[in-house]
Structure 1
Amino acid sequence: MTDAPTASTVRLLFASSHPGPTVTVTVLAAVIATAVGHPFWVVLLVALAVVAGQLSIGLANDWIDADRDRAVGRSDKPVARGLIAVGTVRTAAVVTAGVAVVLSLFLGPVAAVAHVVLVAAGWAYDAGLKRTVVSVVPFIVAFGLLPVVAVAAGPDGGWPATWAIATGAVFGVAIHCTNVLPDLVDDAATGVRGFPHRLGLHASGIVAFGSLVVAAVLVLVGQLGGDDPVRGVGAVLAVLGAVVVVVLAAVGVRLVLTGPPTRTLFRLVIASSLVLVVELGFAGAALVA
């Protein structure tokens, strides 16, 4: 099979890049960078670097797992369906990783190192850590470092507040567990036994949505406490946002305990992340240590 650089190939590559998480992580980074007052060019640079890194991680996942996805009949994977060559996806993964590294160099030393480590964590997961008990570690590292990338970027970048780093880390746990839940049977058939697999369906789901609640509380405390708390409408929205995330988490736990695992669980986490994005947008200077 040969693939010309056509619109169809680009579409298939995008579908292979795990576009939902890619877009969500990029938006989160851009919102944080905007909230702390970075100029537009820094926000744009952060967004471009992060989207390149996330594209590379998603593409590497589909390239490395091509045989496994084909064996279990993953109809949502273009590579598994034979719609695009493995080599094309591999090349795109390497190229976007290179672009991410180059763009990171312009973020400043702290943000650059943080982003390169973030991308490396994602690739380490794809390359084999997903099959081990420490499969959650790359997610904790990557999402914990995301605020560092966004806040430390640019010539006037600072260091993010501890609560922002902690929020990212626990949110990574929720992302990992809910993303894996629908694939537990397929993963077991192909020898993948990561952290969520060893916990089991119910325990993993409870850990995932419990992590969401922890993230919501951390964001709420971060906004209402400290030396520069939000006031007025911002405080009201902070409380409402936390309540919404807790409700979504409760719905998620109920679905885990009463029905088969579906992609709805992951969508609940994505929806919660968008609520947290809005909250972080109002956090402003509180995001900076």
Structure 2
Amino acid sequence: MRIVRALWGSSHPGPTLVVTTLAFALGLAIGLEPWRLALLSASVLFGQLSIGISNDAFDAERDRAVGRSDKPIARGDVSVRTAWVAASACLVVALALSAPLGWRMLAAHALALGSAWSYNAGLKSTALSVVPFIVTFGLFPSLATLSAPDPAFAAGWAWIAGAALGIAVHLTNVLPDLDDDAQTGVRGLPHRLGARASAVIAAAAVLAGAVAVLLGTSDGVLAAVSALSWVLFAGVVVTALGTMVRALGRPPGRILFRLVMLAALLLAAQLVVSGAALAG
């Protein structure tokens, strides 16, 4: 149980649960049958576990170097070798669970996971660090629509919204760790842009994603937009603009991370309430 707890702690449990819940909500929104919904959710869960654990396995030496006592692998609660075995096993299980949903879903999930692993493996330290997030999150809405009996990629606006969500997550997720990353040579796109610019661009990306969902789900007929969609859109606008104003007017702080994450969650909710329109 000690090893299991350590591996769970290494999986980035918060984001893992949020992404899994989003996959479940998107599948529910488009009306997937219970067994398809269960397989979609389980495959995404194991995929996220593989991403999180592999990330900490790749970063174990760097985490030790900066004294990351919150990281189970860096603390020695579980060995790097065990973490690699667990991450690889979770990856295999994720793909195995995707297979019964069809080869399109399997291929899309494999591409999304491969993109995420490429970030862990080294792209995080380059100016292209945002690319895996654009690819993986851009594909994400399609995991639900490709799990349907008549598989199809998500509508174009959903790809835009997913990619915007990925950009926002990446540019803000590293903000609390910028100093530690600088000590260990990690210089991805957010490190090159700086905290202030990263927060502003992240907020702008979420805002663009919200506009894409609003226009995409209504075919440009704003009178057809539901009241709930308008409320969520307004929440994104207020939060994103508030983030930009704060980022430009005050020294960067953890509040920027929280504000952008709130805007991103509201955007995710917009995607969920789009329902059947998600499939185009």
- TM-score w.r.t. the length of structure 1 is 0.90
Give the number of equivalent residue pairs: 279
Letter matched to residue 75 of structure 2: R
Distance in 2, Cα, partners of 1:14 & 1:256: 34
Work out the percentage of aligned pairs sharing the same amino acid.
47
Matches for 1:98-109 after TM superposition, within 5 Å: 98-109=92-103
**Structure 1 residue 65 and structure 2 residue 73: aligned?**
no
Tell me which moved more, 166-175 or 251-260: 251-260
Q: Which residue of 1 aligns with 2:173?
A: 179
Q: Which residue of 1 aligns with 2:194?
A: 200
User: How far 1:226 moved relative to its partner?
Assistant: 6.0
Matches for 1:1-289 after TM superposition, within 5 Å: 6=1, 8-225=2-219, 231=224, 235-257=226-248, 258-262=250-254, 264-289=255-280
Give the structure with the larger helix fraction.
2
Letter matched to residue 268 of structure 2: V
Distance 1:88 1:115, change over 3 A: same
Q: Deviations over 1:19-54 (max 9, x none)?
A: 121111111111111111211111111111111111
User: How far 1:201 moved relative to its partner?
Assistant: 1.7
Contact kept? 1:152, 1:159, Cα under 8 Å: yes
- TM-score w.r.t. the length of structure 2 is 0.93
User: How far 1:255 moved relative to its partner?
Assistant: 4.6
Q: Deviations over 1:152-211 (max 9, x none)?
A: 114322221100011001110000000111211211111111111111121111111111
Distance 1:180 1:284, change over 3 A: same
User: How far 1:113 moved relative to its partner?
Assistant: 0.5
Quote the RMSD (CA, aligned, Å): 1.9
3-state DSSP of counterpart to 1:106: helix
Contact kept? 1:167, 1:215, Cα under 8 Å: yes
Distance in 2, Cα, partners of 1:150 & 1:186: 36
3-state DSSP of counterpart to 2:74: coil
Distance in 2, Cα, partners of 1:25 & 1:269: 16
Contact kept? 1:223, 1:230, Cα under 8 Å: no
User: How far 1:279 moved relative to its partner?
Assistant: 2.5
Q: Is there any run of 5+ residues in structure 2 with no aligned partner, and where?
A: none
Letter matched to residue 129 of structure 1: L
